[in-house]
Amino acid sequence: MSENVLKGIAAAPGIAVGHAFIMDKQEIIVPARAIMEKEVPIEIARFEEAIIKTKEEIIEIQKKISSELQVEHAKIFDAHLFILEDTAIIDEVIKRIQAEKLSAEYIYFQVLKKYALIFSNIEDEYLKERGADVDDVGRRVLKNLMDETKMHDFDSLTKDLILIAHDFSPSDTASMFNKKIIAFATDIGGKTSHTAIMAKSLGVPAVVGLKKATLAIKNQDELIVDGSKGLVIINPGEETKRLYTDAKSRFLQIKERYQDIKDLPAQTKDGTKISIMANLEIPEELPAIAEAGAAGIGLYRTEYFYMNRIDLPSEEEQFNAYKRVLLESKNNPVTIRTLDLGGDKFLSSLEIPKDMYSYLGWRAIRFCLARPDIFKTQLRAILRASAFGNLRMMYPMITGNEELAQANAVLNEVKEALKRESVPFNENILVGAMIEVPAAAMTADLLAQEADFFSIGTNDLIQYTLAVDRVSEKTADLYEPGHPAIIRFIKLTVDAAKEANIPVSLCGEISGDPALVLVLIGLGLRELSMSSLSVLQIKKVVRSISISDVEALAREAMQLKTGIEVEELCQRKLKELVPDFQNIDTDYKG
Ligand code: PEP
Ligand code: MG
């Protein structure tokens, strides 16, 4: 067996050696379950009930969508009903349950896979796309046939495996926590896709955007995943394995390297304090955040709380979760972000076609304003939790003052209701706006008059400013954090915040980049929030620099013409200011 190397995009650092487990392209695991002869009629009845229930659901969604939105969207569901009630499919499932004595969900899944494959092999583009409809209908029926959380049943994996898939959704990755997964790799995805962000939270190496991983890798192949260089090596030879065993121990050493500064202050050589906080996706990360000595949580991405479940979280559940995060953060500040649904983050509990809440569509605050029922429940939970710690809140994807005022109007309604009910909360809770859309950065001076603080979300700001999809491996090279437009937008935002005397932080992935962080501090940022994995190494950088050095660097960067020049300047400066620096993301390769 010859060694084969696939090159993708490094998503989370580290090295794993193990065996491949290829997830079905549809990301659903439906294990075969044998049934007894006498259970056959029960299984058929369950199947028929699931079809009827799914039909009712589809008709319900269709009605809702045609009254709220355009009729074309509702038409998609005609095709879905057609597939759902196809007698050829239904008859085949029933016959196979009788003949093979296997569960309804397993047989249905097998039959649908066969049909989806037939569609995908058809030359005609229109018919090819019907394969996606078959997939959608299949999911709905399966959801009614089995507990949906079991459809992504990582618990059933029995040994340490490297998961390979065309793609994982952020909700899939969220449910991988503490499971027997030592690394993962995908065909598609970019460095700041939420799947990649979750990989860092999981603390397992990951490579995304490999293009053909699911074709090139076979189940049980021996693999090395190098999450730093973005490589997956299939069937590595003995020499490669030895080199990687060494590299792995170097990585673990670097990971431990800055432990000695964990309890020392994050301040520059000339005494300026920088607040280095962590981003939180799921509460299971709290121990790693405490372990890294982060000064608080600068971004709590609450949407993960809504994922991997078939219903919406109640106010009480949210309140308890937010309170737990606050209490475990001791007196450190926690910045909670209201639901940022859309883009690459979907909720299984909302029966909305994915293309309706695309990145430029019905996303984040727009979605919340359109669904005050969901928004108000979350706001009540956040406000109630605010009585238990140092909590601030912010809205994602604000584009201007009108939207901020609309969101605040809903917040005020919720505050009034809580007061009437004598429920305690912090009436002066700070309410911030994320600056992640060019319109917001451009008008930061106007927004600063209304927002209590800013948090710059560069992951989105870069994608919207440079018109580069953050989840696409095809445009990954165009995703340039150092682009002069980005540097200027950050400066505009920081200056506007200073002028209005409100705090400003940055919580995009670049705050964990040891080179680019120099220009961020040089531009005046004093609060940064990042993956807990980066906290200590950024502290190392902060403790090695003087503000005057990085201010000069920022002035120079503002004059440069390209993103590459800005990044090279920062890299050079990092070597000069922190000569013994070792980067957890890159330096273990030796
Ligand atoms: C951002 O856009 O930079 C951000 C921090 O939010 P998210 O990555 O969750 O979109
Ligand atoms: Mg964002």
Cα–ligand 1 centroid distance for 301 (angstroms) = 9
Q: Which ligand is nearest to the CA of 344?
A: 1
Is 481 close to ligand 1, i.e. is its CB under 6 Å away?
no
pLDDT at 590: 39
> From atom 9 of ligand 1, which residue's Cα is the shortest distance away?
301
pLDDT at 529: 98
Interval 25-49 mean pLDDT: 79
Cα–ligand 2 centroid distance for 397 (angstroms) = 7
Amino acid at 544: S
Please, which pLDDT band fits residue 74 given cuts at 50, 70 and 90? Answer: low
Please, which pLDDT band fits residue 199 given cuts at 50, 70 and 90? Answer: confident
Helix (H, G, I), strand (E, B), or coil: what is residue 531?
coil
Helix (H, G, I), strand (E, B), or coil: what is residue 94?
helix
For residue 473, what are the CA distances in angstroms to 192, 209, 470, 510?
10, 5, 8, 18
pLDDT at 26: 44
pTM assigned to the model: 0.80
Is 255 close to ligand 1, i.e. is its CB under 6 Å away?
no
pLDDT at 356: 62
Is 462 close to ligand 1, i.e. is its CB under 6 Å away?
no
Q: Which atom of ligand 1 is nearest to the CA of 192?
A: 8
Which range is least confidently modeled, 173-182, 397-406, 563-572? 173-182
163 CA to centre of own chain: 17
pLDDT at 176: 79
Interval 368-392 mean pLDDT: 96
State the virtual CA torsion across 116, 118, 119, 122 in degrees, nearest 10.
Answer: 160
Cα–ligand 1 centroid distance for 302 (angstroms) = 12
Is 460 close to ligand 1, i.e. is its CB under 6 Å away?
yes
Is 340 close to ligand 1, i.e. is its CB under 6 Å away?
yes
Q: Which ligand is nearest to the CA of 345?
A: 1
The encoded tokens of residue 232 equal: 């997956």
Residue 312 DSSP symbol:
P
Cα–ligand 2 centroid distance for 538 (angstroms) = 21
Is 384 close to ligand 1, i.e. is its CB under 6 Å away?
no
> What DSSP string runs through 202-228?
HT--EEE--SSHHHH--TT-EEEEETT
pLDDT at 172: 73
Residue 471 DSSP symbol:
T
Q: Are residues 521 and 274 in contact, defined by beta-carbon separation less than 8 angstroms?
A: yes
Q: Which atom of ligand 1 is nearest to the CA of 456?
A: 3
Mutate to test the pocket of ligand 1, among 305, 346, 434, 468 (most ligand atoms within 8 A of CB): 434
Q: Which atom of ligand 1 is nearest to the CA of 340?
A: 9
Which range is least confidently modeled, 148-157, 387-396, 459-468? 148-157
Cα–ligand 1 centroid distance for 244 (angstroms) = 33
User: Looking at 166, 194, 483, 570, which residue is catalytic?
Assistant: 194
Neighbours of ion ligand 2 (CB under 5 A): 436, 457, 460
Instruction: Report d(CA 309, CA 147) in Å as an integer.
Output: 9
Report the share of the chain in percent with pLDDT over 70.
Answer: 90
Mean pLDDT in the chain? 89
Is 457 close to ligand 1, i.e. is its CB under 6 Å away?
yes
Instruction: Report d(CA 110, CA 89) in Å as an integer.
Output: 11
Interval 504-532 mean pLDDT: 97
Q: Are residues 408 and 449 in contact, defined by beta-carbon separation less than 8 angstroms?
A: no
Is-catalytic flag, 507?
yes
Is 507 close to ligand 1, i.e. is its CB under 6 Å away?
yes
Please, which pLDDT band fits residue 198 given cuts at 50, 70 and 90? Answer: confident
Q: Which ligand is nearest to the CA of 337?
A: 1
Cα–ligand 1 centroid distance for 303 (angstroms) = 12
Contacts by 237-240, CB closer than 8 A, 24 or more apart: 237/3, 240/3
pLDDT at 475: 87
Which range is least confidently modeled, 169-178, 256-265, 536-545? 169-178
Q: Which ligand is nearest to the CA of 529?
A: 1
Please, which pLDDT band fits residue 587 given cuts at 50, 70 and 90? Answer: low
Find the length of the chain. 590
For residue 158, what are the CA distances in angstroms to 6, 161, 168?
26, 8, 20
> What DSSP string runs through 24-90?
PTT-------B--GGGHHHHHHHHHHHHHHHHHHHHHHHHHHHHHS-HHHHHHHHHHHHHHT-HHHH
How many Cβ atoms are within 10 Å of 471's Cβ, its own excluded? 22
Please, which pLDDT band fits residue 212 given cuts at 50, 70 and 90? Answer: confident
Interval 211-228 mean pLDDT: 89
**Residue 93 CB partners (closer than 8 Å, separation 6+):** 47, 104, 107, 108, 111
Q: Which atom of ligand 1 is nearest to the CA of 508?
A: 3
Is-catalytic flag, 368?
no
Is 301 close to ligand 1, i.e. is its CB under 6 Å away?
yes
Cα–ligand 2 centroid distance for 96 (angstroms) = 47
Is 254 close to ligand 1, i.e. is its CB under 6 Å away?
no
Interval 547-562 mean pLDDT: 98
Is 458 close to ligand 1, i.e. is its CB under 6 Å away?
yes
Asked if residue 128 has pLDDT above 70, the reply is no
Asked if residue 292 has pLDDT above 90, the reply is yes
User: Looking at 166, 368, 483, 507, which residue is catalytic?
Assistant: 507
Cα–ligand 2 centroid distance for 230 (angstroms) = 24
Cα–ligand 2 centroid distance for 402 (angstroms) = 19
> From atom 7 of ligand 1, which residue's Cα is the shortest distance away?
459
Instruction: Report d(CA 224, CA 244) in Å as an integer.
Output: 8
Q: Which ligand is nearest to the CA of 303?
A: 1
Is 482 close to ligand 1, i.e. is its CB under 6 Å away?
no
> From atom 6 of ligand 1, which residue's Cα is the shortest distance away?
457
Is 299 close to ligand 1, i.e. is its CB under 6 Å away?
yes
